[in-house]
């Protein structure tokens, strides 16, 4: 009896559709007593068993996908053909929630899911996974190859990305899709097929918006590598393997060091010295980004304090903060506490913000945090300017002090007239907005000289110095000051 009630509860939505028929059968077979029993049993069954692991239980959704794929794999093994799995991830779902609110976000995503269900082929099934992504278990097909899977994914994208009309107006979302076909796996199973599609889905999501990626062995190896780096990062911080390296910034007028930028390096015991590009993708979206940011902040300010004691004072150190960290409402307080710990004035810290963070809508919490950080007295640099398509309105919303011109505009600026025109326009914009300027990625004396002539206030790049560990920085600073002093003495003699 208990199993029967459990079965009824698991299919409560079907019971609602069949309720009139069930009532009619109860009256015909058992009269009013049977009807009364049905009226009591059905609600009790749903209340007692409806939340104990049925198909609607989100915790079991992955298992349902796996079971469905296993059944299809058994079918194709017996009769021929193949199957596949797709994983669909909505791009920037969290940002959509911030912009629309949770109720409207749910309305938009529910409409997209309904459309996707309607666009599936007969026998294909759509499931909502635990993390909010969607999985499509394909029915058995005579043939599935890369081209067919891309066409299926593109059709689903087209359906999902049609604007959804709300009371406040139309809203459009984008989605990224990863997929895997059974024959790509040496030992295909439902779990392996879903895992492979999720690996491809994560890769597509990283290349968003609207990317489509198919599974490959190279993707699986890259995923395993990222997982290994993520798992070992916290331990690496504890062991002191994560270190801040520094690259000097100098004035184009005097050649004086005006600051340094902190750049993360991981001295990995097996892989050697890793630059940020090798391990940052493994940390993005996790709490480890905050751990990295705090580690870099602490080491950077400790370096300034140590150099002050040695008489090698550096005006400011620039530390990069991700969008995830900038959304933390406690970030300004954390910066203040760390500055106080090392007895440094807020002006000694420069917070670097990527242009992509302020481009587009520009989140209110980030704008508020940057405003509070600037009000403390810290400097704020807009990093990689020119690559994130930030509007002038967006730039003015944020309390910025300086624009960092991206390397893509600096390369060959002394030889390329178009590059010169672009840099001149950026410098003119900065001057009108009352912002200082710094060119990053300056690699040749010709680039350095022309930037000085055009009026760029500060430069940073290999022509000045490469990023270096703190021990090398002290020696470089001493040598740089001696070189400047010698140049001044020669200039005095020449007069």
Asked which of 90-104, 133-147, 221-235 is least confident by mean pLDDT, the reply is 90-104
Q: How many CA atoms lie within 13 A of 170 on its CB side?
A: 4
Tell whether the model's pLDDT for residue 390 goes beyond 90: no
Tell whether the model's pLDDT for residue 16 goes beyond 70: no
Question: Which is nearest to 178 in space by CA: 140, 141, 223, 139?
Answer: 223
Query: Can you give the pLDDT at residue 427?
Result: 94
Tell whether the model's pLDDT for residue 94 goes beyond 80: no
Tell whether the model's pLDDT for residue 488 goes beyond 80: no
Question: Which is nearest to 453 in space by CA: 477, 484, 427?
Answer: 427
Tell whether the model's pLDDT for residue 462 goes beyond 90: yes
Query: Can you give the pLDDT at residue 62?
Result: 84
| CA gap 86, 135 in Å, rounded | 6
Q: Which of 36-45, 161-170, 409-418 has the highest mean pLDDT?
A: 409-418
Asked if residue 381 lies in contact with residue 350, where contact means CB atoms within 8 angstroms, the answer is: yes
Question: What's the rounded mean pLDDT across residues 91-111?
Answer: 73
More confident residue, 35 or 150: 150
Q: Which of 57-61, 430-434, 487-491 has the highest mean pLDDT?
A: 430-434
| CA gap 186, 297 in Å, rounded | 46
Asked if residue 199 lies in contact with residue 223, where contact means CB atoms within 8 angstroms, the answer is: yes
H or E segment and range at residue 194: helix 190-206
Confidence of residue 275 (pLDDT cuts 50, 70, 90): very high
Helices (H), 258-416: 276-283, 288-310, 323-326, 331-341, 355-358, 364-376, 392-397, 407-410
Confidence of residue 7 (pLDDT cuts 50, 70, 90): very low
CA distances from 83 to 121, 147, 179, 405 (A): 13, 14, 11, 49
Grouping H, G, I as helix, E, B as strand and the rest as coil, residue 239 is coil
Query: Can you give the pLDDT at residue 192?
Result: 92
CA torsion 329-334-339-343 (nearest 10°) is 130
Burial status of residue 363 (CB atoms within 10 A of its CB: 0-12, 13-18, 19 or more): middle
Q: Provide the whole-model pTM.
A: 0.69
Tell whether the model's pLDDT for residue 100 goes beyond 90: no
Phi–psi pair at 293, nearest 5 degrees: -60, -45
Helices (H), 50-101: 61-79, 93-100
Question: Tens digit of pLDDT for each residue in 107-155?
Answer: 778 888 888 988 898 999 999 888 788 999 999 999 888 899 999 999 9
Tell whether the model's pLDDT for residue 494 goes beyond 60: no
Burial status of residue 84 (CB atoms within 10 A of its CB: 0-12, 13-18, 19 or more): buried
Tell whether the model's pLDDT for residue 371 goes beyond 80: yes
More confident residue, 358 or 391: 358
Question: Which is nearest to 84 in space by CA: 69, 94, 96, 71?
Answer: 69
Question: Which is nearest to 229 in space by CA: 242, 217, 216?
Answer: 242
Query: Can you give the pLDDT at residue 79?
Result: 87
Percentage of the chain beyond pLDDT 90 is 50
Grouping H, G, I as helix, E, B as strand and the rest as coil, residue 52 is coil
The percent helix, strand, coil of the chain (3-state, each to 5) is 55, 20, 25
Grouping H, G, I as helix, E, B as strand and the rest as coil, residue 418 is helix
Query: Can you give the pLDDT at residue 49?
Result: 42
Whole-number mean pLDDT of the chain?
A: 83
Question: Tens digit of pLDDT for each residue in 472-483?
Answer: 999 999 898 888
Tell whether the model's pLDDT for residue 437 goes beyond 80: yes
Confidence of residue 57 (pLDDT cuts 50, 70, 90): very low
Tell whether the model's pLDDT for residue 451 goes beyond 90: yes
Pairing of strands 272-274, 349-354: unpaired
More confident residue, 48 or 352: 352
Tell whether the model's pLDDT for residue 492 goes beyond 80: no
Query: Can you give the pLDDT at residue 209?
Result: 81
Query: Can you give the pLDDT at residue 357?
Result: 79
Query: Can you give the pLDDT at residue 385?
Result: 85
Question: What's the rounded mean pLDDT across residues 12-41?
Answer: 56
Question: What's the rounded mean pLDDT across residues 215-240?
Answer: 87
| CA gap 195, 187 in Å, rounded | 13
**484 token code pair:** 């400047």
| CA gap 174, 156 in Å, rounded | 11
Question: Tens digit of pLDDT for each residue in 421-432?
Answer: 999 999 999 999
Question: What's the rounded mean pLDDT across residues 194-218?
Answer: 87
Query: Can you give the pLDDT at residue 21?
Result: 55
Strand partners, 320: 352
Question: What's the rounded mean pLDDT across residues 325-334?
Answer: 92
Confidence of residue 46 (pLDDT cuts 50, 70, 90): very low
What value, to the nearest 5°, has the Cα angle with vertex 208 and ends 206 and 213?
A: 75
């Amino acid at each position: 009896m208990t199993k029967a009630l459990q079965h009824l509860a698991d299919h409560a939505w079907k019971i609602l559709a069949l309720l009139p028929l069930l009532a009619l059968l109860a009256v015909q077979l058992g009269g009013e007593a049977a009807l009364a029993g049905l009226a009591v049993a059905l609600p009790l069954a749903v209340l007692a068993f409806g939340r104990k692991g049925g198909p609607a239980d989100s915790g079991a959704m992955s298992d349902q996908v796996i079971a469905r794929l296993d059944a299809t794999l058994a079918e194709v093994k017996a009769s021929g053909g193949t199957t596949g799995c797709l994983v669909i991830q909505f791009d920037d779902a969290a940002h959509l929630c911030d912009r629309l609110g949770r109720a409207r976000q749910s309305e938009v995503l529910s409409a997209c899911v309904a459309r996707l269900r309607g666009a599936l082929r007969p026998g294909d099934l759509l499931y909502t996974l635990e993390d909010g992504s969607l999985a499509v278990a394909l029915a058995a097909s005579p043939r599935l190859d890369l081209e067919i899977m891309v066409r299926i994914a593109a059709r689903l994208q087209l359906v999902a990305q049609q604007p959804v009309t709300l009371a406040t107006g139309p809203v459009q979302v984008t989605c990224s899709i990863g997929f895997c076909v059974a024959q790509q796996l040496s030992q295909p199973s439902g779990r392996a097929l879903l895992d492979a599609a999720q690996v491809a889905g994560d890769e597509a999501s990283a290349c968003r918006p609207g990317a489509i990626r198919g599974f490959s062995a190279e993707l699986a190896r890259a995923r395993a590598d990222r997982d290994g780096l993520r798992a070992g990062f916290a331990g690496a911080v504890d062991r002191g393997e994560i270190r801040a390296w520094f690259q000097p910034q100098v004035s184009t007028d005097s050649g004086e060091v005006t600051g340094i930028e902190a750049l993360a390096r991981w001295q990995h015991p097996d892989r050697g010295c890793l630059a940020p590009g090798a391990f940052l993708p493994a940390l993005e979206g996790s709490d480890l980004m905050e751990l990295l940011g705090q580690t870099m902040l602490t080491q950077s300010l400790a370096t300034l304090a140590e150099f002050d004691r040695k008489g090698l004072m550096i005006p400011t150190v620039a530390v990069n903060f991700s969008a995830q960290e900038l959304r933390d409402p406690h970030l300004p307080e954390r910066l203040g506490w760390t500055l106080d710990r090392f007895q440094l004035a807020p002006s000694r810290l420069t917070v670097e913000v990527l242009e992509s963070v302020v481009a587009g809508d520009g989140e209110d919490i980030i704008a508020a945090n940057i405003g509070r950080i600037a009000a403390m007295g810290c400097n704020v640099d807009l990093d990689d300017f020119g690559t994130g398509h930030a509007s002038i309105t967006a730039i003015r919303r944020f309390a910025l002090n300086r624009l960092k011109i991206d390397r893509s505009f600096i390369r060959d600026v002394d030889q390329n007239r178009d590059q010169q025109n672009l840099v001149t326009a950026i410098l003119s914009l900065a001057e009108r907005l009352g912002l200082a300027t710094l060119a990053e990625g300056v690699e040749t004396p010709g680039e350095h000289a022309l930037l000085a002539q055009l009026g760029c206030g500060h430069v940073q790049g290999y022509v000045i110095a490469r990023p270096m560990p703190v021990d090398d920085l002290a020696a470089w600073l001493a040598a740089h000051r001696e070189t400047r002093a010698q140049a001044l003495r020669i200039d005095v003699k020449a007069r």
